Structure 1
Amino acid sequence: MKKQLLSLFVTLIVFCIGNSAFTQEKLADTKLGLQILDYIKNNEKLSHLTSTDVADIYLDRTSYSKSSGVTHVYLYQSYKGVKIYNAISNVAIKNNEIFYFKDNFVPNLKDKVNVLSPSLKAVEAMQKAATHFKINIEGSPEVVSSSTLKKVFSKGGMSQENVPVELMYLKDKDGNLKLVWDLSIYTKDSKHWWSVRIDAINGAVLDKDDWVINCSFEGEHTHQNGHITSVLKQTHTFDVFKKSMFFVDGSQYNVLPLPIESPNHGSFQVITNPADPEASPFGWHDTDGIAGAEFTITRGNNVWAQDDIDGINLTNGGSPDGTASLNFNFPITTLDQDAANYLDAATINLFYHNNVMHDIWYYYGFDEASGNFQENNYGNEGDDGDGVVAQAQDGSGTNNANFATPPDGSAPRMQMFLWSPAGIATDNLTISGGTIAGNYGSVKPSRGNGADGTGNITGPSSTPVTGALVIVDDGGVIPEEGCSPLVNSANVAGKIAVIRRGSCAFTEKIQNAQDAGAIAVIVANHNNPTSDPDYVPYVNMYGVTDPEFTIPSIFVNYDDGQTIISAIRRRERITATIVDNGPFFKDSSFDNGIVIHEYGHGISTRLTGGANNSGCLNNNFQMGEGWSDWFTLMLTMKASDLGTDGRGIGTFASGEEIDGQGIRTRKYSTDFGVNEYTFNETNDDRVVGQDADTGEDIRLNEIVHYNGTIWATMLWDLTWAYVDKYGFDPDLYKAPVEIIK
């Protein structure tokens, strides 16, 4: 039996977040630092650290959580003024007492340093990194700023952001310290924000990680998609907001408000004045700290939500305009249509939930000083200029989402993709006339399987294409395969080309048909189900990235293909109509659980090692994926929920009903019949594949999402233990806090 009040958030994440101040002072030069040094000196567990080891330790940021009364301190170690990469220790203090010290310092520094001065210049290190990642540098990058140990170079056509290059030490696998140049490059396609360490002596790449966290939702989602005629379900929900306490600017948004997880979980509602007066004191559309909105589009201090349907990350992606009244009540009646038709509604929902995440977590310590995401910190500590760039219907990929989190002061980027229904045959093809008239199942091409994740094979649209049918002839042994320029182009022009699968790529077939003047393409499977034991009736056509085809293409199975080809050869007078009748792409910007999950990566990255360090969650055993799933579960929790319920993550995007498996290997539940995971599952080292680059075995317990699922399972069990003890409070903003030491 649940009570009505619950203290959950900070109880579980006390060691993660707080209100921090940017300091970077030497430990011995501050009162707080002297307290920490005294603790190190008198703590037996830290006795392995020598006086040299602690002589050059700095306060990177301090953190005070108003809700818990805990001060968090982030320390970094250096040697003779040169930082040691990721030698970051965390300290927690309450009532002037140090009750937690996470030691990540390198002991016996003096014996582990290889050299003191670099042979490689900073610009040479940048060139080495560019070569490693196969990135072209345009011209000669200019030095934007320079100090003894750090230079910042201009973008040089190689990066979306300036390239900082700093001298550091890196601990190798033997525990020795190598002098390196540490730098970051944000690739122009936004797929990677590389953080890399280059040997300062020989230029070798010693270490790298990616600040872009791709969720790699590996669930097999396509087989469960169906043609859903209505997904806007009406369900009862309750209000998680205290309206009287919110900033009043007249703004309104037609969205799926929390705790609704997706369109399958509830209905769209118009929410008025949702900005929190403490977290967003000038509303969601302000950037200058003066009353009045600077933007009437989905842009403001916390986030700029825009589309990136071309996948090229231009800063002028489309953003819905609510006019001076900030009216973002853009009606949407059905999602059973082409995603382009509801792009504005998706962008609004994305804008809304990025702001809600900003405002909620502000109350639990993720504020300006601790490195949250704001363009203007309104005079509070921390660095400005890092509101989230959130991209709806990003065209650079499908079936995924990602979040790139650089250090404080550089803007993170959230990319939300469409999720493909490829693999489901639907009646996109209608034959008229002759003996074979009727509707036929077909499969649309996959989007996002090209070399860079886009794909150039165009599927049908909601605008029908109708024409006579003609079998292609390439003059080869099997002429209907269309693998060479067509010899019957005069007959193909203005008609729908029918092509047999086989011998060459789909792109070659479609290109030859398009060059011959075809208005559409039907590719027929060549596998015979009666003679081929590996017969698969439908395949997902995919291509490269350039050029994008201008005519639509669909794929039909062997039997239907034979029926069509035979009718044409009998000279029957038939025509075909190709139109997109669904199933349609799912927009992950409407899957609030995925939006929350992605934003959660930004929180955990900024707070694990302090807002200045984005490289602390770069190993396969980090818990960021688990925290992000837990954020989703918590913020979509309802009073009617039970711990034994099975909660899937991403069920909407993956085309499932609300009780579906989702994108994880297990649903989240306290019922061991639903989710039997315990910490023991981290010992499962079965080989599940090989690394594409190195060929080395990949073991199950080395997969970050598998480990994240285990961690989130543990958190979810703990959550329900607290629910049973304290009850449930739907107020996401100001639930009471209890700290356990």
Structure 2
Amino acid sequence: MYIHPGLILHSLTGLVILLGLFPEKCMSRIESFGPNRSDRTYEIVADGQTERSTSDTDLSIASGYESSQSLLSDKPRRRPSRSRGAQRARGQRHDLQNTWAVQQAKIFIQHKFAITDNEFYVSSSVRSRFGVTHVYFGQLVKGIPVQNGVMNVNVDDDGEILSYGNSFTTAKSPHETRENLHRRGTKGDQDFTPQHALLVLLVHLEYETLSLDKIQVETSTSDELVAVYTLYLPQEILAAGYEISAYLSYLADDKGKLDMGYYIHFHEGETSLEAFVSEHSRQVTTIVNWSADASYRVYPMGTPSPAEGDQVLVVNPEDGQASPRGWSIVSSQENATTTNGNNVHAQENWAGTPEWKNKYRPQADTSQSFNYPFQDSSEVRDGVDAALTNLFYWCNLLHDIFYHYGFNEEAGNFQDVNFDKGGQGNDGVVAFAQSGSKGNSAVFTTPPDGRQPTMRLSIWTPAGTARDAALSSDIIIHEYTHGVSTRLTGGVKNVGCLGWDEAAAMGEGWGDVFAAVLHMGTEDSRDKTIAIGSYVTGGKGLRAYPYSTDMKVNPVTYADVHRRNTPFRNSHEIGLIWGSMLYEVYWNMVDVLGFTDRWHSASLEHGNTLWIQLVVAGMQFQPCYPTFLQARDAILQAETKITGNRNQCLIWRGFAKRGLGYGASYDGVKRKADTSLPPQCEE
């Protein structure tokens, strides 16, 4: 949930938890849903090609400039100075460019859509290393936020608008008088209060019914614009560690019409969700579930789990640029001797509770080595040291790799301390192994920037014996990638953009395909077949088909999305379709451009690293609530900007093979699969 800083207090209080209502309820199973609006658009305005270098070296800040329109040098980047003065100068120039780009984006949307300053607000912005600033806006109607009114504008450094995505509605407010009451934080009409809305949500979530007078409420306002309500449940059924808050909002329905109600943020154990409760219908009309589903002895790249090989003792794997103080530094303290650091806090969760600071972690020896060989045992707790070491290693490794492709502090990555490089901080990943709350599950909860995400990995038993998901790095990669795609799509403060339908499915597909790709090696070829979750399922895998470029092994296409009498009716299986398209693109690029095992290099000259760069950049280009078609186009536009159309046809051929070709279409109701290529790619 995002409420922009001009509307509310910067932090919400009132942490509570529901106990004993339905202990067996698995909140992570709650399906997200919401309006399927066909009026959402994504349009490419310009190709964004420039004379600048497209090598894998970053573009450097020029040593001097006369205006904010000329901040970048065309020369390859030199190693930046580490002096405080140089760092401060780079930050000031970056801020100047970012501010100017935001102004250009504001001017564009005001002229393009004939809207005024009081009809939108700037949610966030982030500038990529390729000279594109991604600016995110939220919609206001008479001062009230429209929860699914989101716009993103992609601006080149010369001020050129490259593309935009728009889900602003043109509907007007039907209840101006009542809105103004709520904007001032006054009581207004008592027929439908935040307490009423919470009761509706509790019933929808199948909790026991409470009487209205049992719910206490506190009201906070900021700038006298909108009231934020913090809600408390009775003492006998709550404990520390819980948060419920609500605020007045609009939601645009399937036809773009406005519905007034309360948007509620609701955190329960393994799941955080946001929901819209309509004042008119007294029903829940939208839910976005935020949860998707030294030296270290670990299962390294190329060895996803104990089933594929042995552990290796990896020495000094930290990346100095992504993790300047290493992995085992906690805040301003000296080296930690446990799996606890700036990027990740890894611990057991046998009790299945949200508290994490005082739970068990393995200790490093005097040489700062986490050397715990895994020994298969019927008692899985015997392997907790090896599991936590593996979990800590992989979450940190992913942090460092994604950092070089643009998921850095400013873009909302996961760090407690951001070293004055932008972003909010205070959000290193809380990673639980052997989570006892629910078996056979893996969950990643992604709140907005500045709030800690949580990864919960449980013990799995489908294989007939208990297997620890924290030893299966493909599952760790899948879950961590949920956090990356959620923070990058729609901006760091709007984490609901991948909530349902094709957007949610792509979240699953990105997780799968990164889990497959990040275990590729120099000896692998497009003949390789990969079953995600093979270890925890005894070799079967978690999807209907494995990842393969062989259509006989994996036949999925765009035509299968929501097809009746098939497995492709939920986000995980539809995600297999999206992931399979990207897997085709990956091999097209590797076959032509080759492979490098230097994953941190973010090289634009090798197929595997360029593929990661384009997919990650595409997440920032694409609009909120993207469709397959819009996400495909965002990747294509990212390629145009980054490598100047040299690899367009490799991308087109991958998508076209799986039915998302040049003539594919989706009008919000019907999908048309197509395998044709654009004219420039026809042989």
Question: Normalising by the residue count of structure 2, what TM-score does the alignment of the two structures yield?
Answer: 0.67
Q: What is the CA–CA distance in structure 1 between the aligned matches of 2:575 and 2:281, rounded to whole Å?
A: 37
Q: What residue is the counterpart of 1:51 in the other structure?
A: 115
Alignment match of 1:611 (pick from 492, 506, 515): 492
Alignment match of 1:101 (pick from 144, 164, 181): 164
Q: Is the 8 A contact 2:101 2:133 kept in 1?
A: no
Superposed displacement of residue 323, structure 1: 5.2
Superposed displacement of residue 114, structure 1: 10
**Structure holding more helix per residue:** 2
Superposed displacement of residue 127, structure 1: 4.8
Q: What residue is the counterpart of 2:284 in the other structure?
A: 205
Superposed displacement of residue 605, structure 1: 1.1
Superposed displacement of residue 419, structure 1: 1.2
Q: Does 1:381 align with 2:422?
A: yes
Alignment match of 1:371 (pick from 412, 417, 436): 412
Summarize the alignment of residues 430-469 of structure 1 with structure 2, pairs less than 5 Å apart. Answer: none
Deviation string for 1:339-367 (max 9, x for gaps)? 11111110111111111111111111111
Alignment match of 1:681 (pick from 539, 560, 565): 560
Gap change, CA 1:103 and 1:299, over 3 Å in 2: same
Q: Does 1:70 align with 2:135?
A: no
Q: What residue is the counterpart of 2:536 in the other structure?
A: 653
Summarize the alignment of residues 99-138 of structure 1 with structure 2, pairs less than 5 Å apart. Answer: 99-109=162-172, 116-117=179-180, 118=182, 119=189, 120-133=192-205, 134=207
Q: Does 1:160 align with 2:27?
A: no
Which residue type is aligned with residue 416 of structure 1? Answer: L
Q: What residue is the counterpart of 1:60 in the other structure?
A: 123
Q: What residue is the counterpart of 1:542 in the other structure?
A: none
Q: Does 1:273 align with 2:319?
A: no
Q: Is the 8 A contact 1:56 1:80 kept in 2?
A: yes
Superposed displacement of residue 675, structure 1: 1.5
Which residue type is aligned with residue 103 of structure 1? Answer: N
Q: Does 1:631 align with 2:498?
A: no
Deviation string for 1:183-208 (max 9, x for gaps)? 21111x32x32211123567543322
Alignment match of 2:455 (pick from 398, 410, 414): 414
Which residue type is aligned with residue 106 of structure 1? Answer: T
Which residue type is aligned with residue 139 of structure 2? Answer: Q
Alignment match of 2:147 (pick from 85, 96, 121): 85
Which residue type is aligned with residue 736 of structure 1? Answer: S
Gap change, CA 1:158 and 1:662, over 3 Å in 2: same
User: 155-164 or 256-265: which moved more?
Assistant: 155-164
Three-state SS of the structure 2 residue aligned to 1:621 is helix
Q: Does 1:668 align with 2:547?
A: yes
Q: Is the 8 A contact 1:620 1:702 kept in 2?
A: no
Alignment match of 1:35 (pick from 95, 99, 104): 104
Superposed displacement of residue 707, structure 1: 1.2
Deviation string for 1:327-385 (max 9, x for gaps)? 211223x3244211111110111111111111111111111121111112222221122
Superposed displacement of residue 326, structure 1: 2.7
**RMSD between superposed Cα atoms in Å:** 3.1
Three-state SS of the structure 2 residue aligned to 1:615 is coil
Q: What residue is the counterpart of 2:362 in the other structure?
A: 320
Alignment match of 2:581 (pick from 714, 717, 725): 714
Q: What residue is the counterpart of 1:524 in the other structure?
A: none
Q: Does 1:186 align with 2:228?
A: no
Q: What residue is the counterpart of 1:171 in the other structure?
A: 252
Alignment match of 1:257 (pick from 292, 300, 303): 300
Q: Unaligned 5+ residue runs, structure 1?
A: 1-5, 11-21, 23-28, 215-250, 425-583, 689-699
Q: What is the CA–CA distance in structure 1 between the aligned matches of 2:412 and 2:216, rounded to whole Å?
A: 29
Which residue type is aligned with residue 633 of structure 1? Answer: A
Q: Unaligned 5+ residue runs, structure 2?
A: 1-53, 59-90, 92-97, 183-188, 605-609, 611-637, 641-683
Three-state SS of the structure 1 residue aligned to 2:245 is strand
Q: What is the CA–CA distance in structure 2 between the aligned matches of 1:34 and 1:410, rounded to whole Å?
A: 28
Q: What is the CA–CA distance in structure 2 between the aligned matches of 1:684 and 1:140, rounded to whole Å?
A: 44
Superposed displacement of residue 108, structure 1: 4.1
Q: What is the CA–CA distance in structure 1 between the aligned matches of 2:477 and 2:272, rounded to whole Å?
A: 21
Summarize the alignment of residues 387-426 of structure 1 with structure 2, pairs less than 5 Å apart. Answer: 387-421=428-462
Q: What is the CA–CA distance in structure 2 between the aligned matches of 1:130 and 1:406, rounded to whole Å?
A: 21
Q: What residue is the counterpart of 1:593 in the other structure?
A: 474
Three-state SS of the structure 2 residue aligned to 1:702 is coil
Q: What is the CA–CA distance in structure 1 between the aligned matches of 2:99 and 2:134, rounded to whole Å?
A: 15
Alignment match of 1:331 (pick from 373, 380, 383): 373
Deviation string for 1:388-413 (max 9, x for gaps)? 11111111222221111111122111
Q: Is the 8 A contact 1:87 1:106 kept in 2?
A: yes
Three-state SS of the structure 1 residue aligned to 2:590 is helix
User: 313-322 or 393-402: which moved more?
Assistant: 313-322
Three-state SS of the structure 1 residue aligned to 2:287 is strand
Which residue type is aligned with residue 362 of structure 1? Answer: Y
Aligned length, in residue pairs: 495
Q: Is the 8 A contact 2:448 2:492 kept in 1?
A: yes
Superposed displacement of residue 723, structure 1: 0.7
Q: Which structure has the larger Rg?
A: 1
Gap change, CA 1:41 and 1:74, over 3 Å in 2: closer
Alignment match of 1:740 (pick from 632, 639, 643): 639
Three-state SS of the structure 2 residue aligned to 1:670 is coil
Alignment match of 1:703 (pick from 570, 573, 596): 570
Q: What is the CA–CA distance in structure 1 between the aligned matches of 2:300 and 2:587, rounded to whole Å?
A: 23
Gap change, CA 1:614 and 1:113, over 3 Å in 2: farther
Deviation string for 1:120-143 (max 9, x for gaps)? 444554454345432788976574
